[in-house]
C-alpha cells in the first residue's frame, strides 16, 4: 500500500517535482496545491491531476498523508509547523527556517524539532547536496576509512548576484511578486548555508560546535545595505568552524564573486583527500592524484525515476524516493529534522559572529535523531 502526497507550490522549482512524485510507484495519489488558480489549473491539466487544493489550510483538512512544501523560503517554517500539527508527514525545500533575525530563527529551529518529536510523523529536508555524486562518493570513502582521520574541509556556495544562468536580482524580485519594493533588497548569505554545510556534516558524521566568521562589504554596494528588511551589508560571508570530531571547516557563501555558480567542497584526511575545482575532481594521497569520473552506481531507484533524475546534479529523484520510503517505513530519512538543524544553525550563528567582527560563538545542537525509527 502506498501513500498520498500533496505538493504545495507550483512555481518554477515546484513544477520540477510533479512528474517525479506522480511517477513514483508507491505514491497512490498526488494532489496539487497553489494559491494561484491559473498556475494550479495549468499544472493539473498538464499532468492529468484531478485533486487540487487552493490553500494549505484545505490540504491539511484532507486525508492526504504527506505534504511537500516547495514554497517561498520564509514560509517553510510556519507551513511545516501547520502540516505537522495536522498529522502530516512533511518534506520541506531548503532552508527549513528562514528570515532576518538570528535569535528568532534559532528559536524556530527548536520549535520545529519539538513539533516533529510530538507529531511522530516524518520530516525531511530537501537538501540536494546529500544526493550529489561527489557527496555520495566521499561518504562511502569515509565510511570505508579511505580518508583516514578527517582533519580539514572546505565547502562553498558561490552564486553571484549577476549570474547569467540564474540572476539573483530577478529571483528575489520574482519571489516577492507584487510585494516587491526597495525595502526588500538584500538577503543574508549565511542564512542560506545548507548547500555547503550539509556536505561536511554528512561525510564527516560530525557537526559544527563553534564558529568565527567575517563579512565582506562591497565599496559601492547598492543591494546589501542597512535599513532594508534584511538590514545586512555583507554580500560575502566566510566562516571557520570547529567540528565535533576535532576537524576544522572553512565555509564560504559568496554573492559578489567573479566566478560561475558553484556548490562544492574539498576534504582532507591523514591518509587521502578529495579535491574538486573547476578543472576537475581528484582523489589524492601522498604519492599523487588520480582523476575521478564519479560514475559509480548510486542506490537503486524505481525504474520510472531512474530514467529522469531531475536537476541539481541528478538529486531530485533521490530526494523524492527517500521521502516516500521514509513515509512508508516510518523511519527517519537521512535529512531528518535533527540533521537539518545541523546544516542550518551554523550559518545563522556565523552571521551573528560576522556582525561581531569574528567573535567565536557556540553553535547549538539538538542531538541525533531518536533511535528506533
Q: Is the pLDDT of residue 373 over 70?
A: no
Q: Before 95, cis peptide (omega within 30)?
A: yes
Q: Where are the domains of the chain?
A: 3-125, 128-299+337-362
Buried/exposed code over 339-369 (b: 16+ C-beta within 10 A; e: otherwise): bbbbbbbbbbbbbbbbbeebeeeebbebeeb
The Cα 58–Cα 99 span in angstroms is 26
Tell me yes or no: is domain 3-125 CATH 3.40.50.720.
Answer: yes
83 — phi, psi (to 5°)?
Answer: -70, -40
Q: Is the pLDDT of residue 11 over 70?
A: yes
Q: In the structure, what pLDDT confidence band is assigned to residue 44 with cuts at 50, 70 and 90?
A: very high
Mean pLDDT, the chain, as a whole number? 96
The Cα 29–Cα 22 span in angstroms is 8
Q: Report the run of H or E that residue 248 belongs to, with start and end.
A: strand 248-254
Give the pLDDT score at 147: 98
Angle, CA 266 vertex, CA 143 and CA 238 arms, to 5°: 125
The Cα 276–Cα 254 span in angstroms is 17
User: What is the DSSP-derived secondary structure letter of residue 180?
Assistant: -
The Cα 340–Cα 333 span in angstroms is 11
Sign of the C-alpha dihedral, residues 120, 76, 229, 179? negative
Q: Is the pLDDT of residue 104 over 90?
A: yes
Mean per-residue pLDDT, 142-156:
98
pLDDT, tens digit (0-9, with 9 covering 90-100), for 285-339: 999 999 999 987 688 899 999 988 888 878 999 999 999 999 999 999 999 999 9
pLDDT, tens digit (0-9, with 9 covering 90-100), for 318-329: 999 999 999 999
Give the pLDDT score at 314: 82
Q: Is the pLDDT of residue 15 over 90?
A: yes
Q: Is the pLDDT of residue 194 over 80?
A: yes
List residues bridging with 268 in a β-sheet: 152, 273
Q: Is the pLDDT of residue 139 over 80?
A: yes
Is residue 9 within 8 A of residue 17, CB to CB? The reply is: no
Lowest mean pLDDT among 37-41, 276-280, 285-289: 276-280
Give the pLDDT score at 312: 82
Q: Is the pLDDT of residue 208 over 90?
A: yes
Q: In the structure, what pLDDT confidence band is assigned to residue 212 with cuts at 50, 70 and 90?
A: very high
Selection from 359, 372, 335, 301 nearest residue 91 by Cα: 335
Give the pLDDT score at 372: 64
pLDDT, tens digit (0-9, with 9 covering 90-100), for 113-136: 999 999 999 999 999 999 999 999
- The second-level CATH assignment, the architecture, of 128-299+337-362 is 2-Layer Sandwich (3.30)
Give the pLDDT score at 1: 80
Amino acid at each position: 500500500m502506498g501513500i498520498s502526497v500533496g505538493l504545495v507550490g507550483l512555481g518554477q522549482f515546484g513544477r520540477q517535482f510533479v512528474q517525479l512524485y506522480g511517477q513514483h510507484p508507491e505514491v497512490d495519489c498526488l494532489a496539487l496545491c497553489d494559491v494561484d488558480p491559473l498556475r494550479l489549473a495549468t499544472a493539473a491539466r498538464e499532468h492529468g491531476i484531478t485533486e487540487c487544493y487552493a490553500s494549505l489550510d484545505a490540504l491539511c483538512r484532507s486525508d492526504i498523508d504527506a505534504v511537500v512544501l516547495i514554497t517561498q523560503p520564509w514560509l517553510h517554517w510556519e507551513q511545516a509547523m501547520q502540516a505537522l500539527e495536522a498529522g502530516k508527514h512533511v518534506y520541506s525545500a531548503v532552508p527549513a527556517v528562514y528570515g532576518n533575525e538570528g535569535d528568532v530563527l534559532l528559536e524556530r529551529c527548536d520549535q520545529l524539532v519539538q513539533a516533529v518529536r510530538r507529531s511522530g510523523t516524518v520530516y525531511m529536508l530537501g537538501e540536494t547536496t546529500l544526493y550529489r555524486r561527489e557527496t555520495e562518493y566521499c561518504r562511502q570513502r569515509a565510511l570505508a576509512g579511505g580518508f583516514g582521520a578527517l582533519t580539514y574541509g572546505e565547502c562553498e556556495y558561490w552564486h553571484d548576484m549577476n549570474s547569467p544562468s540564474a540572476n539573483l536580482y530577478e529571483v528575489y524580485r520574482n519571489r516577492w511578486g507584487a510585494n516587491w519594493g526597495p525595502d526588500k533588497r538584500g538577503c543574508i548569505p549565511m542564512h542560506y548555508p545548507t548547500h555547503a554545510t550539509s556536505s561536511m556534516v554528512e561525510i564527516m558524521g560530525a557537526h559544527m560546535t563553534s564558529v568565527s566568521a567575517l563579512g565582506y562589504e562591497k565599496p559601492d554596494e547598492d543591494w546589501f545595505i542597512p535599513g532594508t528588511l534584511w538590514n545586512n551589508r555583507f554580500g560575502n560571508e566566510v566562516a571557520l568552524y570547529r567540528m565535533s570530531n576535532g576537524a576544522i571547516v572553512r565555509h564560504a557563501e559568496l554573492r559578489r564573486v567573479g566566478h560561475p555558480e558553484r556548490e562544492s567542497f574539498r576534504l582532507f584526511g591523514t591518509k587521502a583527500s578529495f579535491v574538486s575545482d573547476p578543472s576537475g575532481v581528484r582523489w589524492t594521497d601522498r604519492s599523487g592524484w588520480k582523476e575521478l569520473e564519479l560514475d559509480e552506481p548510486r542506490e537503486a531507484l524505481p525504474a520510472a525515476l531512474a530514467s529522469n533524475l531531475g536537476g541539481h546534479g541528478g538529486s531530485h529523484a533521490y530526494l523524492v524516493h527517500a521521502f516516500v520510503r521514509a513515509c512508508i517505513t516510518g523511519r527517519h530519512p537521512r535529512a531528518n529534522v535533527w540533521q537539518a538543524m545541523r546544516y542550518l544553525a551554523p550559518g545563522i550563528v556565523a552571521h551573528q559572529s560576522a556582525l561581531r567582527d569574528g567573535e567565536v560563538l557556540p553553535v547549538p545542537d539538538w542531538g541525533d535523531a531518536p533511535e528506533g525509527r
